[in-house]
Amino acid sequence: MIPSVLPTYNRAALKFVKGEGSWMVEADGRRFLDMGAGIAVNVLGHAHPALVSALTEQAGKLWHVSNLYQIPQQQALADKLVETTFADTVFFTNSGTESCELAVKMARKYWYDKGQPERTDIVTFNGSFHGRSSAGIAAAGSEKMVKGFAPLLPGFVHLDWGDHDALHAAITERTAAILIEPIQGEGGIRPLPDQCLKGLRALCDQTGTLLILDEVQCGMGRTGRLFAHEWAGVTPDIMMVAKGIGGGFPLGAVLATEDAASGMTAGTHGSTYGGNPLACAVGMAVMEIVADPAFLEGVRARAGALRQKLEGLVAAHPDVFESVRGTGLMLGLKCKPSNLDVVAAGYAQQLITVPAGDNVIRLLPPLNLSEEEIAEAIDRLDRAATALEVKTA
C-alpha cells in the first residue's frame, strides 16, 4: 500500500522536534549538531530571536494579501536587495525552482521583445541542479531527473562543465542565455573558478547573451560574500535566489538588471504567495543580519577556521576522506567509502551532514555557528571516520 506521504524521498530514521541555534533535538531527546542547515536554508540557525520576532509580529497583523495590492514588506525587501546587489528589480517566489521558471521566461521574453524571437536557447551545464519543475529538470538535464517525464521543455543546450571550446561553439544566434551555478551544490560542491566566471561574463558581453546565475544554494552569505559572484568581480543579468533568503520560511527571488527585466511588464508573470507579508517580514530580518559587512567578515573567519580543521581531518583519515572543496561555509568532503555511509556514520555521532553528487558530503552549517561548534563538528566527524575505519579494518 502506498504511504500516505507520496514516497519520493529517501528519508533517514530521524524525527526532529525542536531547533536551537546550530542544534536540533530528536524526538528521543538526543541533540544533533546541524551542519546541513536544511540544505543551506537555516542561515541563522534555528529559532533565531530576530527571525522569530519578525515572524510572530507580522503573524499578529496580516499573513497574506494578494499581489493585487501594495505590500510594504515586499517593497522594503526589494529595496534592500536592490541597494545591496547588482540588481535594479526583484520578483519574489516561494522556492528555487520557481525562480528558475521566471529566469528562463525573463530571458526568452527579453529577446522576443528585442525583435529576435529565435533567441530561445538556454545553455546549461552537466552536473548542475536548478530544481524539479519542468524548466528546472530540463535545464539540468540529468538522466535521473528527466527519465519518464518527457516531453521535456525544449530549448536547453547541455555542456560539460569546463569544456571551453564546446562553450564557444554553443553560443549561436539562437542563444538567449547561459545559466550556471557559481558553485555546484547538488553536483558535489564544485566551484567555478573566478577566471571562468569572468570569461563567461566576457563571452556574454561579446555575444549579447544574458548571464543567469543560480545562487539558490551558494548565495545569501554562504561563501562569505552576500552573493558568490562577488568574489569574481563580475555581475549577472539575472540571478536566482531562494533557500537562505527566508532563513527557513519559504521564500525565493529573481533579481535582474533593468535591461534584462525589460520584457516583464504587467500581466506577464505572477504568483499567489510570492512576496507575501509573512515571508518578506522574515526575509527582511535575514537580510538585515546577513548583508551586514561585519557579519560577512565573521563568516569568512569561521569558514577559514573550519576549512583548516577539515584539511587536518582529511590528513588524519586518508582512507575515509580524499579532499576538501568549496568556498566559505559551502564545503564538501570527497569520500572514499560511499558518501551515504559517511553521512550515516555522522548520524551515529549526532552530526548532520548532507550527501551530494560525486561521492561528496556537504557541510552547509548555519552562518553564525560558534568556534566551539566548529570544533565539536570536527570531533564528531573524526569519531565518525574512526568508526568507519574500524568497520572496514
CB of 196 to ligand PLP, least distance (A): 17
Q: What grid cell was written down for 5?
A: 506521504
Q: Does 216 bind ligand PLP (CB under 6 A)?
A: yes
Residue 214 in the binding site for ligand PLP (CB under 6 A): yes
Query: Does residue 215 have a known ligand-binding role?
Result: yes
- CB-based contact 180:214 (threshold 8 Å): yes
116 is in an annotated binding site: no
Ligand-binding site membership of 324 (annotated): no
Q: Applying CB under 6 A, does 339 fall inside the site for ligand PLP?
A: no
Identify which of residues 22 and 124 has a Cβ nearer to ligand PLP in the complex. 124
96 binds ligand PLP (CB under 6 A): yes
Residue number with CB closer to ligand PLP (72 or 270)? 270
Q: Which stretch binds ligand PLP (CB under 6 A): 144-152, 178-186, 201-209, 221-229?
A: 178-186
Q: Is 209 annotated as a binding residue?
A: no
Phi-psi region for residue 193, left (φ > 0), alpha (ψ -120 to 50) or beta? beta
- The neighbour count for residue 318, using CB atoms within 10 Å, is 11
Please pick, from the candidates 22, 97, 120, 327, the single residue that binds ligand PLP as defined by CB under 6 A. Answer: 97
Note whether 283 binds ligand PLP by CB under 6 A: no
- Interface with ligand PLP, residue 131, by CB under 6 A: yes
Query: Is 214 among the annotated ligand-binding positions?
Result: yes
Q: Does 95 bind ligand PLP (CB under 6 A)?
A: yes
Helix axes 277-290, 49-59, angle to 10 degrees: 160
Cα diameter, the chain = 66
Measuring CA to CA, how many Å separate 255 from each of 35, 167, 211, 267? 28, 25, 12, 18
Interface pattern 229-248 for ligand PLP (x via CB under 6 A): -------------xx-----
Q: Measured between alpha carbons, how far is 361 from 76 in angstroms, rounded to an integer?
A: 37
Counting contacts by CB under 6 A, is residue 101 touching ligand PLP?
no
Q: Find the residue with minimal CB distance to ligand PLP.
A: 96
Q: How far is the CB of 75 from ligand PLP (least distance, A)?
A: 23
Does residue 130 bind ligand PLP (CB under 6 A)? yes
**Residue 164 C-alpha from the chain's centroid:** 25
SS3 content of the chain, % helix, strand, coil (to 5): 40, 20, 40
Interface with ligand PLP, residue 185, by CB under 6 A: yes
Task: Give whichever of 216 and 296 is closer to ligand PLP, judged by the CB atom.
Answer: 216
Which residue in this structure is represented by grid cell 527579453?
110
Instruction: Examine residue 34 and tell whether it contacts ligand PLP (CB under 6 A).
Output: no
Q: Smallest distance from the beta carbon of 258 to ligand PLP, in angstroms?
A: 24
Which residues make up each annotated binding site for pyridoxal 5'-phosphate? 96-97, 129, 214-217, 272
> Residue ranges for the binding site for N(2)-acetyl-L-ornithine?
132, 271
Q: Which residues bind ligand PLP (CB under 6 A)?
A: 95-97, 129-131, 181, 185-186, 214, 216-217, 242-243
